[in-house]
Amino acid sequence: MSERFVEQVGQLARRSVVRTARQPANIVFPLVFPLLLLAVNSSGLQSATHLPGFPTDSYLAFALAVPFMQGALFATMNAGTDLARDIQTGFLNRLALTPMRGVALLAGQLGGVMAMTAVQAAVWIIAGLILGVHFAAGAGGIAVIFVFSLLIGLGFGALGAFLALRTGSGEAVQGMFPVFFVFLFISSMAMPRNLIEIKWFQTAATLNPVSYLIEGIRSLIVIGWDAEALALGFGTALLIAAIAVSLATFSLRTRLTRS
Amino acid sequence: MADEHGIVATGLVREYKKGPRAVDGIDLVVHPGEIYGFLGPNGAGKSTTVHMLTTLLPPTAGTATVAGYDIVREGPQVRAAIGAALQEAALDPLLTGREHLRLQTTLQGIPRSERARRGELLLERVGLSQAADRKVRGYSGGMKRRLDLALALVHSPQILFLDEPTTGLDVQSRSALWEEVRRLATDDGVTVFLTTQYLEEADVLANRVGIIDHGRIVAEGTPAQLKADVGRPTVEVVPTDSEEKERAAAILARFGEPCVAVQGVAVRLRTSDADLAEIVRALDAESLKVENLQLHQPSLDDVFLAKTGRSLEGAGEEEEEPELALEPA
């Protein structure tokens, strides 16, 4: 990897972070909204912990994994709409006329998304610790959650970039937001899959990759070191990241039609 | 025909699937150090041509070299030799002017030690030093255009493409930009390919003008040549008493053949260097009181009218250039 390439990625990532930092709504809502949902759910659904087989007696600890996913969804939207705006304003053409390598643009954009994901992950972890959540896997588990969050941010950020590059429209990217939220709601975010009584819901949650991402993080908070949950979680996150980055790279190549 | 340091296009075509032939076989040569004005209405194919010449859009047919490099086979070399300020200043409203230059100098591979100095120099040159740390969303249209130009010059390009650089600007900003473009060509020897829909801009700024309509170049030459080809000046007389129009027409007929007048009566002069004083003396000798007398030199609009049968003003309202994202045929 040449020094020039690293510099290009660094500048583009810096731009991505600066852009986000200068739009307070892009920071505040992705932090406040998941925290609010966490507060509402953990107080309203605490009684669910009395169900036989529920893995913990703290619904807050159980639900703490969900903000990581919600943060990833916001990352998708932000990465996608920023890139779509670059296409619409012609900024992408300006970049295309430089000797910049296309992959540097994607890496820079995703680097910025991951930086924001890191901030979000730190906020969720600190919020959990302040609210008295005991992380069953200890400090090592917290570090793994952090890495896991970055991987999820990478995958979903690349998904947003792919949508933007494919459609060239910020509206189209934002239009996908409710669809992603449906995926979140039909997952195991509110209840362990084995305790979901409605059959179709349980099947949908089992087929839904988001369930495995949540369960991977959740296992480190409420169970400890659960190899199966971690393998499924990391495997799913890696698969999503690999597919999304490949799609985004291919779409970027098509979008940058320069000869 | 080959010109290693300018622009040479031969039979350049861009056709869109389910769309029109946006560019329909363009042949042109732009010499080094020249300001070439590409004049035409909206939708004529100007921007599509620029996108092809800057390697952003592959041509459907034809060939072109820019700075001696083939636009299809030698894209990276072409891009290294050119700067471009495309239609609508492509800037990030959330970044400052200085941050734009930092990004652009890095992406253009300017050595780290030179970046800041180069950025300062360009900001000063386009008169944005004071506003360098303000976010671009607070810039006026003229400031955005000037920053756009500075960004295009970061790597000292041999050839500069400016796609409608003054559209939407006030007269003062337009004049400032013209002055800078002229300076770039005369002092720095930069070849400038400038598209415009403004007759005055092409007339004042360009050494040579290519007039494009429906994807084809319909006329090419220096502004003076083009106007001379179209014809001679016209003189229009508006008598104080409108009943005197016939008498005024009879006097004017001594100097040329009648033509369409806006208000009074008019003739196209027999020679391009006719003496207006003679006409005034003839009118005076006949005691004809005149409210208004005007000499109209042929304009580039007359050239456009002569070549296409339409006036350039409003000609582009019929059709816009297709989206560049459309799939090629």
Q: ipTM for the complex?
A: 0.84
- Best to test chain B binding among A81, A94, A105 (most B CBs inside 10 Å): A94
CB contact under 8 A, B90 and A94: yes
Count other Cβ atoms within 10 Å, centred on residue B125: 16
Distance from CA of B116 to the nearest CA of A (A): 14
For A64-110, write each residue's pLDDT tens digit: 999 999 888 887 788 899 899 999 988 998 998 998 888 888 999 89
Distance from CA of B272 to the nearest CA of A (A): 46
Name the pLDDT band for B2 (thresholds 50, 70, 90): very low
**B77 & B100 share domain:** yes
Q: What is the pLDDT of residue A219?
A: 96
CB contact under 8 A, A99 and B80: yes
Report chain B residues whose CB lies below 8 A from the CB of A8.
Answer: 106-107
The residue to which tokens 């014809």 are assigned? B231
Report chain A residues whose CB lies below 8 A from the CB of B80.
Answer: 99
Report chain B residues whose CB lies below 8 A from the CB of A97.
Answer: 54-56, 79, 82, 84
pLDDT at B311 over 80: no
Q: Is residue B148 in a domain?
A: yes
**B76 & B95 share domain:** yes
Domain hosting B266: range is 232-287
**B52 & B117 share domain:** yes
What percentage of chain B reaches a pLDDT higher than 70?
A: 92
For B127-170, write each residue's pLDDT tens digit: 999 999 999 999 998 899 999 999 999 999 999 999 998 887 88
**B184 & B280 share domain:** no
Cβ atoms of B255 and B234 closer than 8 Å: no
Please name the member of A91, A93, A98 whose beta carbon is closest to the beta carbon of B92: A91
Span B99-123, mean pLDDT? 94
Distance from CA of B325 to the nearest CA of A (A): 8
Within 8 A by CB and 6+ apart from B246, the residues are: none
For B231-270, write each residue's pLDDT tens digit: 678 888 999 988 889 999 999 998 888 877 778 898 888 7
Chain A (196-255) residues lying within 8 Å, Cβ to Cβ, of chain B: none
Distance from CA of B322 to the nearest CA of A (A): 14
> 3-class SS at A11?
helix
A259 lies within 8 A of chain B by CB: yes
Supply the Cα-derived Rg of chain B in whole angstroms: 24
Within 8 A by CB and 6+ apart from B264, the residues are: B236, B237, B238, B239, B245, B248, B291, B292
Q: Is residue B281 in a domain?
A: yes
pLDDT at B3 over 70: no
**B118 & B156 share domain:** yes
Number of domains in chain B: 2
pLDDT at B87 over 90: no
In whole angstroms, what is the distance from residue A151 CA to residue B155 CA? Answer: 37
Q: What is the pLDDT of residue A207?
A: 96
Q: What is the pLDDT of residue A257?
A: 65
**B111 & B247 share domain:** no
Q: What is the pLDDT of residue A175?
A: 87
Report how many Cβ contacts below 8 Å link chain A to chain B. 75
Chain B positions contacting chain A at CB under 8 Å are 54-58, 71-73, 75-76, 79-80, 82, 84, 86-88, 90-92, 94-95, 99, 102-104, 106-109, 112, 135, 151, 325
Within 8 A by CB and 6+ apart from A21, the residues are: A27
Distance from CA of A98 to the nearest CA of B (A): 6
Strands B159-163 and B191-196: parallel
**B60 & B45 share domain:** yes
**B249 & B211 share domain:** no
pLDDT at B123 over 70: yes
- On average, the pLDDT of chain B sits at 86
Q: Is residue B303 in a domain?
A: no
Domain residue ranges of chain A, discontinuous segments joined by +: 3-47+57-255
Name the pLDDT band for B327 (thresholds 50, 70, 90): very low
pLDDT at A159 over 60: yes
- Best to test chain A binding among B56, B72, B87, B153 (most A CBs inside 10 Å): B56
Name the pLDDT band for B51 (thresholds 50, 70, 90): very high
Supply the Cα-derived Rg of chain A in whole angstroms: 19
In whole angstroms, what is the distance from residue B27 CA to residue B10 CA? Answer: 4
Q: What is the pLDDT of residue B88?
A: 75
Q: What is the pLDDT of residue A3?
A: 85
For A22-37, write each residue's pLDDT tens digit: 988 888 888 888 999 8
Cβ atoms of B21 and B40 closer than 8 Å: no
**B94 & B124 share domain:** yes
Q: Tell me, what CATH number does B217's domain have?
A: 3.40.50.300
For A187-217, write each residue's pLDDT tens digit: 999 999 999 989 999 999 999 999 999 999 9
For A160-184, write each residue's pLDDT tens digit: 999 999 999 889 888 888 888 899 9
Distance from CA of B97 to the nearest CA of A (A): 13
What percentage of chain B reaches a pLDDT higher than 90?
A: 55
**B198 & B243 share domain:** no
Angle at which helices B97-107 and A3-21 pack, to 10 degrees?
160
Give the closest residue to A54 by CA, choosing from A200, A188, A181.
Answer: A188
Least confident of A11-15, A152-156, B87-91: B87-91
- Best to test chain A binding among B69, B88, B103 (most A CBs inside 10 Å): B103
Please name the member of A99, A168, A257 whose beta carbon is closest to the beta carbon of B109: A99
Cβ atoms of B237 and B286 closer than 8 Å: no
In whole angstroms, what is the distance from residue A174 CA to residue B193 CA? Answer: 38
Within 8 A by CB and 6+ apart from B180, the residues are: B125, B126, B146, B149
Cβ atoms of B160 and B154 closer than 8 Å: no
**B136 & B281 share domain:** no
Question: Strands of B35-39's sheet, edge to edge?
Answer: B82-85, B159-163, B191-196, B35-39, B208-213, B216-221
Distance from CA of A130 to the nearest CA of B (A): 35
**B222 & B245 share domain:** no
Name the pLDDT band for B323 (thresholds 50, 70, 90): very low
**Which residue type sits at A257?**
T
Q: What is the pLDDT of residue A1?
A: 63
Instruction: Quote the tokens at residue A209.
Output: 């990759």
Least confident of B42-46, B58-62, B160-164: B42-46
